[in-house]
Structures are given as C-alpha cells and as structure tokens.
A and B are shown apart, each in its own frame.
Chain A
Amino acid sequence: MILEVDAVSKRFGALTALNRVGFAVDEGQIFSVIGPNGAGKSTLFNVVSGLFAPDAGRVRFRGVDITGLPPERVNRLGLAKTFQITNIFPEISVLDNVRVAAQSRTPESGRLVSLWRRPDVDGVACALLETFGLGARRDAHARDLSHGEQRYLEICVALATDPRLLLLDEPTAGMTPGETRDATALVRKVVLERGLTLLLIEHDMSVVMGISDRVAVLHFGEKIAEGTPEAIRSDPRVIEAYLGGGDD
C-alpha cells in the first residue's frame, strides 16, 4: 500500500468539502477519483499533496504520516502532482521548466554548493520532453505552447522530480476527444514503463474507465462508491449521483 487516506475531512467555513473520505492505493495501481464538479476531488488532492491540512483524518504515504506536511516536504518523499488549471513557469523555456524540476533531486539541492554549481540534468529533461513529443519545442517559451502541449509539459515537470506516486488533476481538461484519447494512452504507457503508481482525478468517465484498476466516486464531499471500473459503471448510486445527475 503506497497511499492511505483515512477518514479525511476538510471544511471551508460552512461548506464541508470532504467528509470522512478514505481509500487506499496499492503500489503500481492506477486509481481514479471521479465525481461531478464540486464533489471535492481537487480538495482531496490538495490535502494529499500538502497544500491544505485536513480538519480530521490522516494521510499516510509509503508508511510515513504526511498529514499536514507542506507541499515541498511531501514532494521530497516522492509524490508529485499536476494541477487542474495549467501551472507551469510561463516566461522560461520548455527545457528550463523541466530542468528546474529535475535538479530538485540532485545531490546539490538544498546545499551550499547549489549557489555555484549547476547540475547537468539535460539528459533526463530531454528524454522526458521526447516522450511527450515536446522535443522540438524545448527552446520555446512555455507560454507559447498550445494548450495541449502545456498540459503535457506540466506532466513532464511533475515526472522530472522522479516521484513514486503521481497525482494528475484532470490532465485532459480542455482537450478535444481525440487529444484526450492520445493523452490517456500516453500517460498509461509512461506510468507502466516507469512502474509508477497513478492517482487520477477525472471528470470525464470515458478516460477513467479505459485505464483504471480501481475507481472511487465522490459526491458532495463523500465517497459513495469504490470498486473496479465495471462495478462502478453498474452501481446504481453512481448512476443516480453522477451519470444521471445531468453533469455534461
């Protein structure tokens, strides 16, 4: 078990964004969290990745209690995430975006020598960009990439920190159905090749069903179902809450 979320609650004022949500992700699994907009999916990610401390409950990652640790500490333990709204370094080159992420794991990082030494991470960075088809765009400013390319760059940046667990928050948001299919296949391939565990938030059911080993469904901050994609697809509560809910 690589990640264990145990009865996590998070309130914002009167709004209960998460109410005793719990699940466990096994090493090497592709685990998806789905739910309509506003179900609390991004809040869940923000709690797991350290942006918010939960009001109640614990989060354990690789056996370490990470509840309330700040994002930089959680990341150093081997958890990287992408954001629902593209979150990259806009005014520097595509390659520099990935370099700054990759050098975070070099021996220089956080030590005094980092003031005068520049670790060579170009091999790792370029290989990642090639994987996501951005090799030819490496010298472009990140802001000049297309939306789809920026989504890929964001995944590259997260992967460059060499995580064990990758959290992707709606990676295909804003993509066309064709792009979504390609992106999903590519992500699945990379995750399998690197032996990563993937925790995926999706709002598009078709993405999830194709690649997930296990799916949890959030609705108004509560987990209403968890199981294999087949079981989820036929679960009446899910159909009622999600598919029949008029979303999309």
Chain B
Amino acid sequence: MSVLGWRALLVFALLAALPLVPGMSRYYLLLAFDALLFGAIAMSLDLLMGYTGLVSFGHAAFYGLGAYATAILMERGVQSVWACVGFAALVVSYFATARRGIYFALLTLIFAEVVYTFFRYTQTFGGSDGIQGLPDATVLPGLVIDTPTRKYYLVLAYLLIAYAICRVVVASHFGRVLVAIRENEDRARFLGYNVPRYKMGACMISALLTGVGGAIYPMRSAFATPDLMLWTESGEFIISVMIGGLGTLVGPIIGGAFFTILRDKVSSIVDWYFIVIGGVLIVIVLFMPRGLLGLRRIFSRRAAA
C-alpha cells in the first residue's frame, strides 16, 4: 500500500463512502460510474501522452474491443467478471502486439477506424445496434453485479487497481525510460535503450488498462455498440487528459470525471453541448496549461508566500 500513499487511500476511502451519502440516487451512482471509468481510461492514456510523449488517436478501439469481448462472452452465457476481463485483456493484447510492423499505425486514427468500420458495417457482431440486452455479471457465484451500488464498487475496484499499476510503472526503471524518451528520444538510444520496445511496452500497458475498462462498461450498460469506438470517443479521452494535466496520472482521472459530469449536465440542458465543452477546453488550455491539477501548484505557491 506504500505505492499509493495515504492521500490516495483517503481519496479512495471517500469515494468508497459515496453510495452511503443520504439521498444518493441511482442516476448519480451511475454517473459516478461513468465519471470514474472515463477517468481511469484517461489515466491509462496518460501513460502514453504524458509520460512517453506519444498521442494515441485510436484508444477508443481498445476501449470498444474490451466492451465487445465482454458482450460476446455474456451473449454466450459466460457472466463471470474475471472471464470477461481476462478475455478482453487477451483480445486487446493481440491487437496491440500481434503485428509489430503496424505498431505505429496502432497509434493512429486508421487502426481505430478500421476496427470501428468492421463492427459498424458488418453484421458479425450486430452491426450498428451492437450487442444488446446483456445479463448482469457475477463476481463470485451468488455475487451478482445487479445494483447501481455494486456497479459503482466494481468500477472503483478497477480504478484502484489500474491506478496502483500506473503508479508502480511510472516509478519503475521502465517508467524512467519512458520519461527519457519523451524528453529526448535520440539521447535515450545512445544510453543503450531500445526505444521502439519501450514505446511498445507503454502502448501495451495503456491499451490493456483501457481494454479492461471497456470490458467493465457492458456490466453497467448491458450493451456494447460500435459508437464506443468512434473517433470522437478517442478525442474525448485526449481532451480529458489535457483538462486534467499531462503526466500526472491523478490529473487525467479528475479530467475524465470532470468531462463526464460536465457533458452530462450540459447535454441535459442544451443539444449543442460540445460548443460549451470546447469553450471550457479553450479556457483551460489558455489559462491552465498544466490542467486542473496545475491549480494545485498555484495554491501551494500562494500558501508558501
């Protein structure tokens, strides 16, 4: 637990207490689910964007593949969370490594668009409707993820594990090399590091965590649709990382949650919510280049002065 530090544990304890808040409705619990899931995926993307200096315009493909992995198993009567998550991890790692030759293409829109087109325009997995009407998942025999509270705890557990993994990785030998690659790729080569291998490793870990996040989504929504892999979804992950603050892990979690809640609130009032979100993004980029988490520095500097 020393990996997480007492502040992170405190935050997780507070998050765990959220369903106990009086008057917490089903609607808000599911919104909290979405916020934390989006935050966790933005954090996974931050491994690439913030630490390695690579931008992935195709992360929604990993997310969607994870969701379909769960949906396909559930459709066939497999309801175990573990089986679904394991299968999603296998599928995503296959697509993230199997063809080393197209490794850089993986990071582009093209890969995601190909995957999207396959799921959207072929009837193999339900076409544009995707796979609907899935049953509830089970963690253990008899422990069914059927209530919003249980769904919320499922995503919280995922966030906790994903965060711990990211924390360990960025503090490791490997994580240091990623930062060196971000800072100066050529110099890293002259220190004996096989840069493509490290980039590949970062891409793998990020894709796996994103895929597992995708695998959890149908356990809340009971469906997987091609829209999960749309390029706008990848764009929203990137925006969340930027809103929160690159290279901080915690920042993108906040960014993803903030983005999800903002979108939910604004879209319930107006249809053109993207204009509002775009405006917020511009303000953040202009006035908070380090993202929401960058505010922390401003406050701590004032406190010190």
Contacts and interface: CB of A to CB of B under 8 A. Distances in A.
Given A72-B194, A114-B172, A88 B184 contact: yes
Given A72-B194, A72-B195, A110-B194, A89 B173 contact: no
A12 interface: no
A89 B183 contact: yes
Judged by DSSP, the binding face of B is helix
A101 B191 contact: yes
A115 B201 CA distance: 9
A181 to B, nearest CB: 27
Interface stretch (A116-124, A194-202, A206-214): A116-124
Given A115-B174, A117-B172, A118-B172, A104 B184 contact: no
Contacts of A83: 187
A70 B176 contact: no
A114 to B, nearest CB: 4
Interface residues of A, number: 36
Given A89-B184, A89-B187, A100 B192 contact: no
Contacts of B193: 72, 104
B90 interface: no
B173 A91 contact: no
Interface in A107-139: 108-110, 114-119
B143 interface: no
B6 interface: no
Nearest to B190: A71
Interface in B181-211: 183-184, 186-195, 197, 201, 205
Contact of A100 (B180, B194, B205): B180
A157 B191 contact: yes
B105 to A, nearest CB: 22
Contacts of A109: 173, 192
A91 B183 contact: yes
B173 to A, nearest CB: 4
Contacts of B174: 114-115
Given A100-B179, A115-B174, A116-B168, A80 B190 contact: yes
Contacts, number: 86
A70 B169 CA distance: 27
B183 A103 contact: no
Interface string A92-109: 100010011101111011
A19 to B, nearest CB: 26
B189 A114 contact: no
A99 B171 CA distance: 12
B173 A117 contact: yes
B69 interface: no
B253 interface: no
A161 B191 contact: yes
B106 interface: no
A100 B186 contact: no
A105 B174 CA distance: 13
A72 B189 contact: yes
26 contacts: A49-B190, A71-B190, A72-B190, A72-B192, A72-B193, A81-B190, A87-B187, A88-B184, A90-B183, A90-B184, A92-B180, A96-B176, A99-B176, A100-B191, A101-B191, A103-B176, A104-B191, A106-B173, A110-B194, A114-B177, A115-B168, A115-B169, A115-B172, A117-B172, A118-B171, A118-B173
Interface of B: 168-169, 171-174, 176-177, 179-180, 183-184, 186-195, 197, 201, 205
Given A108-B173, A115-B172, A157-B191, 13 more contacts: A49-B190, A71-B190, A72-B195, A75-B190, A92-B179, A96-B179, A106-B173, A109-B192, A115-B168, A115-B169, A115-B174, A116-B169, A161-B192
